[in-house]
């Protein structure tokens, strides 16, 4: 249906072509956003082993419903909404199945050996990994609403207005969730922030 698409083609054009059924345009859309989707899912649920499958599911949902997107310029917010909906769906499904969360398996010995052999400071590297692990653990204790809001702001870099649009709530609600998430994280990380 289409000739080879240049990488410089605008997002709006790609969206319109996808809505017209252009598979090559959809492939380009996936290429542009697959890293963002994967990273967002991974940050929301780092212990889930099926992040690749979930990212693929996001694009299946995009493919099935892109024709319903009214404004191409809202694609990124719409895409984030699909990821968030999938995340909530998975939480509900996993609660029903009672999946075991394999949260703690740091393999510290292997990390020390690797960093020492690579010439990096093994103590500093280990401290950074430990802080990252503690931060992720604290993030995992946040409610899904707080976690999603703080991730959209701090990791995805969305404005309060974009987050409100994505979450279909008011800017005040977004600010409240982010403030509360930050306060809870500060409390969890108090001993590391001194």
Domain of 153, in residue numbers: 142-188
Residue at 114 is within a domain = no
Residue 49: per-residue pLDDT: 87
In this structure, is residue 135 part of a structural domain? no
Residue 170's pLDDT is 96
- Asked if 90 and 147 sit in the same domain, the reply is no
Residue 42 vs residues 50, 63, 111, 140: alpha-carbon distances, Å: 9, 21, 21, 12
Per-residue pLDDT of the chain (194 residues; tens, 9 = 90+): 445 666 678 989 999 999 999 999 999 999 999 999 999 999 888 888 889 999 999 999 999 999 999 998 889 999 999 999 999 998 888 777 654 443 444 444 444 444 444 455 666 666 677 777 778 888 888 999 999 999 999 888 899 999 999 999 999 999 999 999 999 988 888 877 66
**Same domain for 79 and 17:** yes
Q: Are residues 146 and 64 in the same domain?
A: no
In the prediction, which pLDDT does 104 show?
A: 42
Q: How many other CB atoms are there within 10 angstroms of residue 18's CB atom?
A: 24
Cα 24–26–29 angle (5° rounding)? 115
**Can you give the pLDDT at residue 55?**
94
CA distance 78 to 72: 9
Contacts of 155-163 with CB under 8 Å at 24 or more apart are 155/39, 155/40, 155/43, 156/36, 156/40, 156/80, 158/77, 158/80, 162/76, 162/77
27 shares its domain with 85: yes
Tell me what pLDDT residue 115 has.
45
Number of structural domains (the chain) is: 2
Q: Evaluate whether residue 162 is within a structural domain.
A: yes
């Amino acid at each position: 249906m289409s000739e080879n698409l240049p990488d410089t083609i605008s997002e709006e054009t790609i969206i319109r072509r996808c809505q017209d059924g252009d598979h090559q345009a959809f492939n380009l859309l996936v290429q542009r956003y697959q890293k963002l989707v994967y990273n967002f899912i991974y940050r929301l649920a780092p212990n889930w082993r099926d992040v690749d499958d979930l990212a693929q599911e996001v694009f299946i949902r995009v493919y099935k419903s892109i024709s319903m997107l009214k404004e191409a310029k809202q694609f990124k917010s719409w895409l984030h909404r699909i990821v968030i909906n999938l995340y909530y769906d998975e939480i509900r499904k996993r609660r029903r199945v009672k999946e075991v969360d394999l949260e703690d398996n740091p393999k510290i010995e292997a990390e020390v050996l690797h960093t020492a052999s690579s010439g990096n400071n093994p103590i500093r590297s280990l401290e950074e990994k430990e802080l990252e692990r503690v931060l992720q653990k604290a993030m995992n204790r946040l409610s899904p609403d707080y976690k999603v809001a703080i991730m959209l702001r701090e990791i995805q870099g969305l404005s309060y207005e974009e987050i409100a649009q994505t979450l279909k709530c008011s800017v005040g609600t977004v600010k409240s969730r982010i403030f509360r998430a930050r306060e809870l994280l500060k409390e969890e990380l108090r001993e590391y922030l001194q």
